[in-house]
Amino acid sequence: MAKRSDMSKPVTRGELLEELHASELRLEAKLEQKLEQKLEQKLEQKLEQKLANYATKVDLEIWAGALSARLDGRIDRLEIRVEGLYGELARHTQAILEAMSTQISAVDDKYADLPARVSRLERDTARPRRR
């Protein structure tokens, strides 16, 4: 095969075909490499476009932190409300207890002299009757 820079020497048809075939193979390899590069670039661009719609791990961590802080605040407020409700429930329970005690003592007062009356009745009924 003749050197590329030596254009004065004639080449055979076989050498020319061989050189054309080698050039074709080199050209195909270069085209394939360029095509792969272009395809990878396009795929990366498409992937970046698709992934741009999704949250990143950092975004999710920030969101989770903010959500956790909001929930902690709500839990604290609920605990305060529950403590208030327990206090209110205790006051209502105490009021009910006092009302029941008043009602029971009213009944007890009504029958406080019952033992004395029963004793007198027993005495009176236990005496033999005169005929």
Look at residue 104 and tell me if it is in a domain: yes
- Of 5, 24, 54, at which residue does a domain stop? 54
- For the record, the structure tokens of 11 come out as 């080449």
- pLDDT class of 9 with cuts at 50, 70, 90: confident
24 in a structural domain:
yes
Residue 60 sits in the same domain as residue 118 = yes
Place of tokens 């949250």: 55
The predicted model scores a pTM of 0.41
The answer to whether position 114 is within a domain reads yes
- Cα separations (Å) of 3 from 11, 12, 17, 32, 87? 10, 13, 15, 27, 104
Same domain, yes or no: 18 and 71:
no
3-class SS shares of the chain: helix, strand, coil, % to 5: 80, 0, 20
- At residue 131, the pLDDT reads 62
Whether residue 19 contacts residue 1, with contact meaning beta carbons closer than 8 Å, is answered with yes
Same domain for 102 and 73, yes or no, is yes
Task: For residues 33 and 86, state if they share a domain.
Answer: no
42 and 73 together in one domain: no
Q: Are residues 88 and 110 in the same domain?
A: yes
pLDDT, tens digit, for every residue of 42-87?
A: 999 999 998 888 888 999 999 999 999 999 999 999 999 999 999 9
105 with 91, same domain: the answer is yes
Same domain, 62 and 120: yes
pLDDT tens-place string over residues 19-50: 999 999 999 999 999 999 999 999 999 999 98
Same domain? For 49 and 107 the reply is no
* Domain interval for residue 28: 13-54
Is there a single domain that holds both residue 64 and residue 48? no
In a domain, 98, yes or no: yes
Domain assignment of residue 5, yes or no? no
Are the C-beta atoms of residues 20 and 12 closer than 8 Å to each other? Answer: no
Token readout for 37 is 């590069």
Tracing tokens 């950092």 back to the chain, one arrives at 58
